[in-house]
Structure formats: structure tokens, C-alpha cells
Amino acid sequence: MAQRLDIDGEWHRVSPKYVWIVIVGSLVGAAFSAAVVVLVWWAFAWVWWGWLLIAALVVGYGIQLVVAPRRARAIGYRMRDDDLVLRRGIAWLRIVAVPYGRMQLIDVQRGPISRWLGLSDLRFITASSGSNVSIPGLPAELADELRDRLIALAETRRAGL
């Protein structure tokens, strides 16, 4: 019965190095949560159920780390004739199609780890906050090239609101 949502065609994948950003992100999150949990545990005078919290934390972030490569591979984009299609997520899968003429703004962002790995994130803003589309982990040159191409496409297909 279980069927996976998909649409026909070939997806472009993001850089394999993007996995490291997901992993580092998870580790930072884990360290931060661990600090909070330890603080709470200390505040409750090291009660026995503190161990359960730590265990839950380890299991949760363990799963995240194991799934990280799949999550990175699940991100795909495709440039069709008139719109850009994006796919994200494994368990919660989401596919969005944004017509080129609807792009109001295209952002290129680089965090510290991205810069070290030579990656960039592309973010698209439309007049709707529901669109919420971004392609993380693109090689920097490709991201710049893609941005220029998308801006040119948006210009030729410009529509009002």
C-alpha cells in the first residue's frame, strides 16, 4: 500500500559534501541540547530519570546522524522549461514548483562551514511565504551560475503579481 510520491524525470542532486553540513549541524544541536539536559538534571539534583533524557538524546541524534546522508541525497531540483521544481525530505516529502516569472528575489548564502567546504545555499523568495524554497549545498560556482541563469529567466518571463 505504501507508495512514494514522485514526479517523472531526472533530479539534479546537491553536492555530496553537503552531508558534512548536516552532520556538523546535528552535532552542534546535540551538544547544545546535552548542555541544557545536564543543566536541568543538575537543577533536579541528579534524579534517576536524568539517564532517560540522556538516552533519548543519544538515540534521537544517533538516528539523525545515520539518516544524514539519505537526507542530503533526498534534496533534488530540476529546471523545467517554465518553472523550477524542488524536492526535499524523506519521511515528510515535499515537492514545490515555482514558475520563473514568480521569483521576486534570489539569495546566495554561505555559512562558515559551507565556505570551508566551498558550498553555497540558494534561496528563492516569491510573493507568498508558503513557497519557502531553497537549495542548500550547491558548489559555489554552480550556485552563482544558477542564480544568474534564474535571474535571466525570471526577467524574460516577468509577470505582475
Binding-site member from 127, 141, 151, 152 for other proteins (CB under 8 A): 127
Q: Nearest distance from residue 124's CB to other proteins, in Å?
A: 9
The answer to whether 9 contacts other proteins (rule: CB under 8 A) is no
Looking at residue 138, the DSSP 8-state letter turns out to be: E
* Residue 147 CA from chain centroid, whole number: 17
CA distance 33 to 85: 35
The answer to whether 133 contacts other proteins (rule: CB under 8 A) is yes
Q: Nearest distance from residue 21's CB to other proteins, in Å?
A: 23
**In 3D, which of 25, 21, 49 has the Cα closest to residue 139?**
21
CA distance 139 to 120: 6
Residues 6+ positions from 129 with CB-CB distance below 8 Å: none
Given the complex with other proteins, which of 49 and 92 has the nearer CB atom? Answer: 92
CA distance 44 to 53: 13
Q: Which amino acid type is present at position 128? A: S
CA distance 145 to 67: 30
Q: Which stretch binds other proteins (CB under 8 A): 30-38, 55-63, 114-122, 123-131?
A: 123-131
Site string for other proteins, 77-116 (x = CB under 8 A): -----xx-x-----xxxxxxxxx-xx--------------
Q: How many residues bind other proteins (CB under 8 A)?
A: 33
28-67: contacts with other proteins (CB under 8 A)? none
Q: Which residues bind other proteins (CB under 8 A)?
A: 1-7, 82-83, 85, 91-99, 101-102, 126-131, 133, 157-161
